[in-house]
Amino acid sequence: MSETPPPRFAGRVVDPSVADEDDEVPVEQLSVEPPAALPETESAAARPSADRLPDEPSLRPHTFPPMPASEVLLDPGASPPPVPEHRPRRSTPSVLSPSMTAVFGALFGLAGIFAIFALLQRFSPHPTPGTVPSGSAPATVAAGASSSAPPAPVEPAPEIEEEPGLPGPWRVSALKDEEGTRVIEGTVGHDPLVDTLEGKHISRKEIYRVLSALKSFKVLDHPGKNSKYIVAVERGSGRIKAFELEVNSTEIYQAKENEEQRLVGEKLDMKIATRRTLAGLRVGDDLSNDLKRAKLRESIGEVVDRALDGRAHLHGMQKGATLRVVVSEQTALGRFASYEYVEALEYVSAKDGAEPLRIYRVRDGNRWGYFDQKGKEPFRGGWRRPCPGAPMTSPFNPKRLHPILKIIKPHLGTDFGAPTGTPIHAVYYGTVGHIGPSGPAGNLIVLKHPGDMESYYMHQSRYAPGLKLGDKVETFQIIGYVGSTGRSTGPHLHFGIKKKGEWIDPMSLKLDGERVISKESREAFDKAKAELDALLESIGLPAAPQPAAPAPSTSGSAEPSSSSEPGQGIDETEGLDELEPEGTVDPNDKPDPKKH
């Protein structure tokens, strides 16, 4: 006897939009009674029911026995009910399939093999460049002992003593201890001087008295943001008794009341003079200490770099390099005020067999220039090298075999190997057309130059502070610093040039072209060179540090030391092949300003 099938959609919510068109099903029907239960078969009876739980731990609910009735719990005479025993659930061990077991076994086996090789690599001796072979046991032990010893701390150099100086003019600071006078000091900053002084609760009327007194000097029209001011104000009346503006230690302007209480302005006589200073230094672990020992101040770097003009730079000199310098200083009241210019210098690189480079400040026609021993100087009107002194590690090559991808992939630029943080200079004056990250090119700057030329600087570690899109840059201005961002195998600069939208060989621009001193000035150059050479040769240099004696060691299996000198270990000038990005950035695209 056939049973009537249960109605469709029983126990389900029916969506009228999906009902079959030929079925007559009421739209409002949501559910109906379920069909009658089928008779239980023997197989179903054999299966456990809901109230007859199996003894399998994985299927049994995690419950406690029922608690006694409340009457039993509240009966004081009854014995306390037993505390239900907590039986932790037992987990059924999971079983992996044979294929997964084989996969995990292979992985663990490979891991064990690599671990064994790592241990062998760790404990086996490795010869280091510059160390003695393992056949010489005493030398090896000594090298290991010296490497384990902590480096000796660098003794700080004494500060440069203040010179006694000469008596100077009266200064507004003398009124600080005067009763009834309020002395205010500060820096001009970016705001107009009138607004700055008004912010110090000085009336505009008194400020105009100062402007009138110093009007003839025009110094208050555009005072530098770093200029310092000091003003003495009478308490109660708020009248300015004296005002002083210090542009630098040699240029100071003052307005002081006379007997009629009228402010009178003047430029103070600081007894400005020039003097010649000779100094020599050997670059060690701390350039700041090296300068102090040579009685030189940090500001010497500015005039030294100006004289080297891209041939090298002071803070890029490696340990062991030497520098002799003849410099002209400016003094105020008999004390050092500033460095004016370098008259001559001698720089010897730390590299073995390096030839001395001498630079002389000589007049050529109506201009001064810095010429080397051969009478040559960098041509300021031409294209400059972006990283002076950095070696070229990979040239422009349209058919280069890619070092990683192993395919013919053009190298549309020139690589210069240099340590991270080496300054990058603009090769020519122009405008910043792009600044920001650019995929495989890393941190990228694109400069637009006259003549439809563009220069590309890739993989930078950071940009020059304050540089932004649309800024004007000068030739040889620092725009960023060498790095290894993007797709790169090590710190270096990838430098590219586009001319009218097409890549060209950057070296075809004759970077760092030179000009020779004119024939008319040659005789004067030779005479000045001879005089300055004599001064340079008279400058003594600090003795080279002696290598520390190896400390005795009781261990017979010490590892050879690895040198920490620059240029050893990982060669920063090798293997720095550029990975040309797919799809070079178009500088005409508008980058996201939030990234800059």
pLDDT digits (tens, 9 = 90+) for 62-73: 555 666 666 655
Q: Give dist(CA 10, CA 125) in Å, integer.
A: 80
Which among 235, 267, 299 is the end of a domain? 267
Q: Give dist(CA 442, CA 420) in Å, integer.
A: 14
278 and 202 assigned to the same domain: no
Q: Give dist(CA 288, CA 182) in Å, integer.
A: 39
- What is the biggest distance separating any 2 CA atoms in the chain, rounded to whole angstroms? 134
Distances from the Cα of 39 to the Cα of 7, 33, 36, 44, 219, angstroms: 19, 18, 9, 10, 111
Residue 422 resides in a domain: yes
Report which of 541, 558, 542 is spatially closest to residue 550, judged by C-alpha positions. Answer: 558
Report which of 496, 504, 508, 503 is spatially closest to residue 386, judged by C-alpha positions. Answer: 496
212 and 287 assigned to the same domain: no
The pLDDT value recorded for residue 63 is 55
Q: Is the pLDDT of residue 43 over 80?
A: no
Give me the mean pLDDT over the 240-253 stretch: 96
Q: Which domain holds residue 449?
A: 392-513
Residue 519 resides in a domain: no
Q: Give dist(CA 393, CA 416) in Å, integer.
A: 6
| Token pair of 520 as six digits | 């008319």
Give me the mean pLDDT over the 488-497 stretch: 93
262 and 283 assigned to the same domain: no
Give me the mean pLDDT over the 149-161 stretch: 71
- Name the least confident of 135-149, 423-437, 491-505: 135-149
Identify the residue with better confidence: 24 or 490: 490
Report which of 295, 362, 357, 290 is spatially closest to residue 329, judged by C-alpha positions. Answer: 295
3-state helix, strand, coil in the chain (%, to 5): 20, 25, 55
396 and 509 assigned to the same domain: yes
Which among 331, 355, 379 is the end of a domain? 355
Neighbouring-strand partners of residue 516: 376
Residue 94 resides in a domain: no
245 and 302 assigned to the same domain: no
Distances from the Cα of 269 to the Cα of 169, 332, 533, angstroms: 7, 9, 36
Which among 486, 513, 540 is the end of a domain? 513
Close Cβ partners of 181 (under 8 Å, ≥ 6 residues apart): 175, 232, 233, 234, 235, 241
- Give the E-state strand segments of 311-442 in sequence order: 322-332, 335-348, 357-364, 367-371, 376-378, 392-394, 414-417, 423-425, 430-437
The CATH number assigned to the domain holding 251 equals 3.10.450.350
Looking up tokens 């001319």 gives 499
Q: Is the pLDDT of residue 482 over 60?
A: yes
Q: Are 370 and 515 in contact (CB under 8 A)?
A: no
410 and 491 assigned to the same domain: yes
Using one digit for the tens of pLDDT, what is the confidence trace for 82-92?
655 656 566 55
User: What is the strand order of the sheet 367-371 is part of?
Assistant: 273-282, 322-332, 335-348, 357-364, 367-371
Residue 361 resides in a domain: no
Phi, psi angle pair for 137, to nearest 5°: -65, -45
Close Cβ partners of 15 (under 8 Å, ≥ 6 residues apart): none
246 and 300 assigned to the same domain: no
553, amino acid identity:
S
Using pLDDT thresholds of 50, 70 and 90, give the confidence band for residue 351. Answer: confident
Residue 585 resides in a domain: no
Give me the mean pLDDT over the 75-80 stretch: 60
Q: Give dist(CA 142, CA 555) in Å, integer.
A: 10
The CATH number assigned to the domain holding 423 equals 2.70.70.10
The pLDDT value recorded for residue 359 is 96
Neighbouring-strand partners of residue 228: 187, 246
The pLDDT value recorded for residue 573 is 34
Q: Are 14 and 8 in contact (CB under 8 A)?
A: no
Q: Are 521 and 362 in contact (CB under 8 A)?
A: yes
Residue 482 resides in a domain: yes
207 and 281 assigned to the same domain: no
Q: Give dist(CA 358, CA 345) in Å, integer.
A: 6
How many Cβ atoms are within 10 Å of 104's Cβ, its own excluded? 11
Instruction: State which of 84-88, 265-269, 426-430, 470-474 shows the largest mean pLDDT.
Output: 265-269
Close Cβ partners of 202 (under 8 Å, ≥ 6 residues apart): 184, 231, 233, 238, 240
DSSP string, 437-451: E-GGG-EEEEEEETT
The pLDDT value recorded for residue 38 is 57
Region at 166 (left for phi over 0; alpha for psi -120 to 50; beta for the rest)? beta
Q: Are 53 and 47 in contact (CB under 8 A)?
A: no
Number of structural domains (the chain) is 3
Q: Is the pLDDT of residue 228 over 50?
A: yes
Q: Give dist(CA 255, CA 263) in Å, integer.
A: 6
241 and 288 assigned to the same domain: no
Mean pLDDT of the chain, nearest integer: 78
279 and 192 assigned to the same domain: no
400 and 495 assigned to the same domain: yes
399 and 509 assigned to the same domain: yes
Q: Is the pLDDT of residue 287 over 50?
A: yes
Residue 244 resides in a domain: yes
Q: Give dist(CA 284, CA 256) in Å, integer.
A: 50
The pLDDT value recorded for residue 449 is 94
Close Cβ partners of 325 (under 8 Å, ≥ 6 residues apart): 278, 279, 280, 296, 300, 304, 342, 344, 345, 346, 539
Length, in residues, of the chain: 596
Residue 447 resides in a domain: yes
Query: Cα–chain-centroid distance for residue 239?
Result: 50
Give me the mean pLDDT over the 208-235 stretch: 93
Give me the mean pLDDT over the 101-113 stretch: 79
